[in-house]
Amino acid sequence: VSVSRKACGARGASVIRAVLEATLDELARVGYTALTVENVAARAGVNKTTVYRRWPTRGELVEAALTAIAETAPLLQESGDVRLDLLAAARRMLAAMSSARGRGVLRMLLGGCAEPDLVALAFSIRKGFEAPARRMLERAALRGDLRSEIDPDLVLDAIGGWLIHTLFRERAAVAPERLAELVDLLLRGALVAAR
């Protein structure tokens, strides 16, 4: 029983992966409004009822596909050292943005090809993805490590923006030491003068 369950689970997981990957491919091909469950099912090589059973609407299907990209990134491990923790959060953002499908969706958003519904969906998924890092920064502020007037979202947006600048505007690789330099700049600031 345990063996057949395992096989069934593995088969289920590979169907899910195929459907979600087909969803992202269709999204890139036709956009959000024109995406149909039928075409996704055909591309994934599964029956459309298989798709409908799990994701009854296009919105749920696309949300699941976008969430799956974010889930390829490692969990955020918190050490209590704000510099190490912010660097880990930055690396996690980089991992989510760097996958082939993550890049595809980001290019769509940044190139202005994404419909407002998709932009809103991507925004809400990103906020969920960034929630552990936001809570980590809030805890650091409560410990007295961060200035209380600092908005964690601004810190995370500055990191995400710099990653987009590097990956999509300059089309360059992100050097680990440069990412550390950015985190250091955001934590320590550029000024010499005592605050």
Pick between residue 53 and residue 144 the one whose CB is nearest to its own copies. 144
Look up residue 5 and give its amino acid: R
Give the integer Cα–Cα distance in Å for 105 and 102: 5
CA 110 – CA 87 distance, rounded (Å): 24
Among 81, 170, 175, 176, binds its own copies (CB under 8 A): 170
Closest CA to 93 of 25, 170, 165: 165
CA 191 from centroid of its chain's CA atoms:
32
Give the other-Cβ count within 10 Å of 111's Cβ. Answer: 9
Q: Which one of residues 10, 84, 113, 175 is an interface residue with its own copies (CB under 8 A)?
A: 113
Residue 123 as a binder of its own copies (CB under 8 A): the answer is: yes
* Interacting residues with its own copies between 143 and 162 (CB under 8 A): 144-147, 150-151, 154-155, 157-158, 160-162
Nearer to its own copies, 19 or 88 (CB): 88
Does 87 help bind its own copies (rule: CB under 8 A)?
Answer: no
State residue 76 phi and psi, 5-degree precision.
Answer: -85, 115
Is 181 a binding residue for its own copies by CB under 8 A? The answer is: yes
Is 178 one of the binding residues for its own copies (CB under 8 A)? yes
3-state secondary structure of 21: helix
Q: Give contact residues for its own copies (rule: CB under 8 A).
A: 82, 106-113, 119, 123, 137, 144-147, 150-151, 154-155, 157-158, 160-166, 168-171, 178, 181-182, 185-195
